Amino acid sequence: MSPMSFQEFEPPPGLREHVACYWGAEIGAVEAGHMHQVIPDGCVGLIATRRSDDSTHLTLQGPRLDALWIPVHEGDRFWGVRFWPDAGALLLGRPAPELLGRLEPAATILGPPAAYLAARLADCDTAAAASAEWGVLLGPMVSACRPLDVVVRTAVLAIVAARGEAPLADLATAVGLGPRQLQRRFSAAVGLSPKQFARVRRLRGALSHVVKGSPVSWAAVAADLGFADQAHLIREFGALAGLTPVAVAERVRQIGLDGVRP
């Protein structure tokens, strides 16, 4: 069994403008003190952690510019929801910059529904079952929240599609705003600047080569993604992931992946 199995799957149609995906993970045989590395993705998320002793708690994770290291134990299970970068703060009713780097009990923002949801998720045995419970919480939140900023969503999708290689000036032109106007609106909705989000997405683009299972030449990856050279790519991995590309790739290859989009 892999040290960790991980799967992603689509939310129901009514939630897809706000929810990027549901996910589930289960920890296999790991050594005592093992730390799992979470690579930045630029999103706000909610994570239900069900420990091997059957205790369950719900955590809010804000967007980050560095890797998150989480202690895990054999038998731990995680059910999660990842919001679109411009939707998480809107759903939670908080200014996006306020969520940057936060990792705390979800009850601090969700209040009593967090405890209720954690109790419901504690009875779930699969990520698919957990997704139905997420829907009970998220459906009313989506119905009640303000509309998404169409300009910001267009910029988010453009950056994702370009794997982080979308210059701010080009993005601004595409949405009919000046660069400073776009930067202000983007940062207000996402919590990261367009440049910061692009850095995160370019790192994810590099990791997609590992997820696809293809042989990796990091020099070729650096050239493909517009890094100045391989040394530049290595520095970005160090800054955002805390490890070299080779070390990150080795950790990713130890995870059993199912339905994960690069």
- What domains appear along the chain, each with residue ranges and CATH number? 4-144 (no CATH), 150-254 (1.10.10.60)
pLDDT tens profile 221-241: 899 888 889 999 999 999 999
Is residue 42's pLDDT more than 50?
Answer: yes
pLDDT tens profile 169-201: 999 999 999 999 999 999 999 999 999 999 999
- pLDDT, residue 56, reads 87
Instruction: Kindly report the length of the chain.
Output: 262
Q: At what angle do helices 179-190 and 150-161 cross, to 10 degrees?
A: 90
Q: Is the model more confident about 40 or about 55?
A: 40
What whole-number distance in Å separates Cα of residue 148 and Cα of residue 132? 24
The amino acid at 99: L
Enter the pTM of the model. Answer: 0.91
What whole-number distance in Å separates Cα of residue 153 and Cα of residue 157? 6
What whole-number distance in Å separates Cα of residue 189 and Cα of residue 99? 11
Kindly state the average pLDDT of the residues 36-62. 90
